[in-house]
């Protein structure tokens, strides 16, 4: 017989106590932490990006190489949403916890830079970033600001100032390997952690989805905050299937102020 569900207040207190006791906490975030900032996730029915477009047709490395204009046409509204977005209460709560010494590392599947905008310092970006662009011809790297702003406003494709080649955002497309340095950093952090907090991720995309299992198998505690269930809910110490932008600030207040 399954135990009765924990009351929300009790679960919040349990989560706060786990964070307070942890010495090496790692937070894994996904698209669900950024949807309250106006950035669509990928899989939500009706609103997710992949409910409207076939990912291999618009967001694959092969599409970018053969029909870059198709990729950029799909990407333009999303880039606008990302660059206009501001950190929400969940991002700010994680930055507060880090500043107070209660969180060591954020591993994120997001490319929106909202953790950094909120003030977090130690962020491992598993799927790349929109902060920079790289030339597909001479491989020179550029800060994205001016290029992406012109692209959003005018539809002007970003071209290399050195050779005129097309600039690719430094984000991971379908068919492209994850940045090995980020993967190694994340795996190292997970091997050392005594607590993992999953916030806003359905844990459906490997290899990132396997990180919580690695942590739990090594004896770490696990907190999951996500509105839909994940494969590892059954192994978690605390599961909160609620809005991460509401729950995380509440937990942070309990950690920081009792």
Residues carrying an active site annotation: 127
Q: Cβ distance 170 to 148 under 8 Å?
A: no
Structure-token pair, residue 44: 């939500």
- Given a contact cutoff of 8 angstroms between Cβ atoms, the answer to whether 221 and 24 are in contact is no
From CA 10, how far away is CA 199, in angstroms rounded?
Answer: 18
Neighbour order of strands in the sheet with 221-225: 123-125, 105-108, 25-29, 195-199, 221-225, 238-240
* CA separation for the pair 100, 86 (Å, rounded): 22
N residues, the chain: 258
Distance between alpha carbon 110 and the CA centroid of its chain, in Å?
3
**Scanning the structure block, which residue is given the tokens 């290899």?**
207
Q: Which of 118, 111, 120, 117 is nearest to 92 (CA)?
A: 118
* Token pair in block for residue 45: 């029915």
Q: Would you call 226 helix, strand, or coil by DSSP?
A: coil
Q: Where is 130: in which H helix or E strand?
A: strand 128-135
Tally Cβ neighbours within 10 Å of residue 248: 29
Supply 208's token pair: 């990132």
């Amino acid at each position: 017989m399954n135990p009765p569900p924990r009351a929300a207040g009790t679960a919040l207190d349990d989560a706060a106590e786990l964070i307070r006791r942890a010495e090496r906490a790692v937070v894994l975030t996904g698209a669900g932490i950024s949807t309250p900032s106006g950035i669509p996730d990928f899989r939500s029915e009706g609103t997710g990006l992949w409910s409207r477009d076939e990912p291999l047709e618009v967001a694959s490395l092969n599409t970018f190489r053969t029909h870059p204009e198709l990729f950029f046409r799909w990407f333009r509204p999303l880039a606008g949403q990302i660059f206009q977005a501001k950190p929400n209460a969940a991002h700010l709560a994680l930055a507060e916890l880090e500043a107070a010494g209660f969180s060591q590392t954020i591993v994120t599947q997001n490319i929106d830079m909202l953790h950094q905008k909120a003030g977090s310092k130690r962020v491992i970006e598993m799927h790349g970033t929109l902060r920079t662009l790289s030339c597909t011809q001479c491989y020179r790297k550029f800060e994205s600001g001016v290029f992406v702003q012109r692209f959003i406003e005018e539809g002007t494709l970003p071209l290399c100032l050195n050779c005129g080649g097309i600039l690719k955002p430094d984000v991971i497309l379908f068919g492209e390997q994850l940045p090995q340095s980020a993967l190694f950093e994340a795996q190292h952090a997970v091997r050392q952690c005594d607590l993992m907090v999953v916030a806003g991720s359905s844990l459906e995309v490997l290899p990132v989805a396997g990180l919580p299992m690695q942590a739990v198998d090594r004896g770490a505690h696990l907190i999951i905050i996500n509105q839909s269930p994940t494969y590892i809910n059954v192994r978690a110490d605390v599961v909160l299937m609620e809005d991460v932008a509401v729950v995380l600030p509440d937990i942070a207040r309990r950690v920081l102020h009792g």
